[in-house]
A and B are shown apart, each in its own frame.
Chain A
Amino acid sequence: MSLRDQVAIVGIGCTEFSKDSGVSTLTLAARAILAAVEDAGVQASELDGIATFRVGDSVPPAILAQSLGIRDLRYFVDQFGGGSVSHSIVGQAALAIHAGIAETVVCYRALNARSEFRMGGTGRPPVDAIETQYQAPFGYFTPPQQFAMAARAHMERYGTSAEQLGAVAVQQRANASLNERAMMRKPISLDDYLASRWIVEPFRLLDCCLETDGAVALLLTSAERARDLRQDPILISGVTWGSGQTLYSNQQPDSTRTSAADMAPRLFEMAGVGPHDIDVAELYDCFSYSVLVQLEDYGFCKKGEGGAFVESGATALGGSLPVNTHGGFLSEGYVHGLNHVYEAVSQLRGDAGERQVENAQVALSAAQPGYVSGNTSALVLRRDS
């Protein structure tokens, strides 16, 4: 039997998003999980599965289970990886519930990505791998450098402009101004964007995600059981994994196309919907450019037209496809993809306050589309009807 609509997200929780949490990732994770448990109206003692992902920067499931008093953990996922695997752990939890391995699984991501472990951070010795032999000596180490390389190729090939990258940052900040969780709420103009300093061309400061201390947790159970719980169930209609050639080894012949382009048809087929059915999209925005390429690779516009699509206002609140309604990594905070799922659930519940998308029934939430790692993953979620 297909996994479509068989498992639901029934609880969501998060901590404050800050530059310095002052607590461990264990404490952050526990706070977010307990908030999700409370939101769902269940007892913490009912948890029997835990799923997370990390890059050696966070508390593992076994330690967390012990802290939460779970003595008989029936299922766990401790996935190595960054944002590209963020949505896959929700899929792993759904598979386990559907297969009867566990009944109530919490997915979390907890990180002190500003105060402790900065992504691509300075001072870390280069990994002695074949790929890094051909990158580190040339001063090529970090995600902004890697994504900038792809963005530049896209600008050259399709005429994507700085103003179009800036439109992503401006729209998302406007959304964040309506989001009480967001770290950056003061609206910005295109001039502010263009005046912000270079980080790695063509990226300015305002093209780049925030670095955040924080945690998000999502509680899953079967759709059948979900209907007896406190919140309107949000069903997992589709979840897919994807992987292709990695830019990490520089052998992706076309840097302007991602693994998401190969995966998207599978995702939509599983969910029984198409791009035109999506009411709101939360797209992994480590950088402004990542949003443009996903709009193309998920089929919301033609290849090469992501910039024009954003500039037209289609992706703003009130547009045909509001994107990153929480402000995304650029303005809400960087919780590595799970804050995108959190926002998608809020939108589908109708709980998004001033930034609520009217009559949101179906949402796409997507992980990093495949640059660097090659991997990606994504979810189609919908209201239970």
Chain B
Amino acid sequence: MSDANPQIPLPRPTPLSKPHWDGCREGVLRVQRCGDCGSFVFIPKPVCDGCLGSNLSWVESSGRGTLYSYTVVHRPQQPAFEVPYTVAIVELEEGWHMLSNLVGVEPDHVEIGMPLEVSFERKSDEITLPCFRPRA
């Protein structure tokens, strides 16, 4: 998955998501945090889904977490994806979840709960994807 492939559908950042995608390009994993109730909010939202407040700001995540669940895809929906590949839900240290791909680990060696860290994979001038790799 680390080879840039122009056919992979890349996101088109919107005003809501732009700070996150800008951060990935700069090598920083950003997440929204509510200044009122302290909730971490992801994917990007206009209001806090914990308290419905509007006092959201972008903070830096540690980028460290563990594997919550995963699936190994053997039948790709689009040919640009080379199979098999691993889609994962990562639970970050701050408690929020994000969908991603695992890199640097064979599907057979993936285990729920394994420690992970963010690995920024550049796909275009604008887009760098936050993938995850095993950490010691």
The chain A residues found within 8 Å of chain B, CB to CB, are: 120-123, 125-126, 128, 130-142, 144-145, 148-150, 152-153, 156, 197-202, 249-251, 253, 255
Contact = CB atoms under 8 A, between A and B. Distances in A.
Contacts of B135: none
Nearest to A131: B43
Nearest to A123: B78
Given A133-B13, A139-B77, A148 B71 contact: yes
B87 interface: yes
A249 B87 contact: no
Nearest 3 CB-CB pairings of A with B: A133-B11, A148-B71, A153-B69
A122 to B, nearest CB: 6
Contacts of A142: 77
B85 interface: yes
Contacts of A156: 69, 112-113
Contacts of A139: 8, 73, 76-78, 81, 85, 87, 101
B14 A133 contact: yes
A252 to B, nearest CB: 8
Contacts, number: 112
Contacts of B96: 251
B72 interface: yes
Nearest to A139: B81
A128 B43 contact: no
A198 B72 contact: yes
A141 B13 contact: no
Contacts of A152: 69-71, 112
Contact of B16 (A121, A130, A141, A198): A130
Nearest to B87: A140
B8 A150 contact: no
7 contacts: A133-B11, A139-B73, A139-B81, A141-B78, A145-B71, A153-B68, A201-B107
A382 to B, nearest CB: 38
B69 A199 contact: no
Given A122-B78, A130-B17, A200-B75, A137 B11 contact: yes
Nearest to B127: A137
Contacts of A202: 71
B12 interface: yes
Contacts of A132: 11
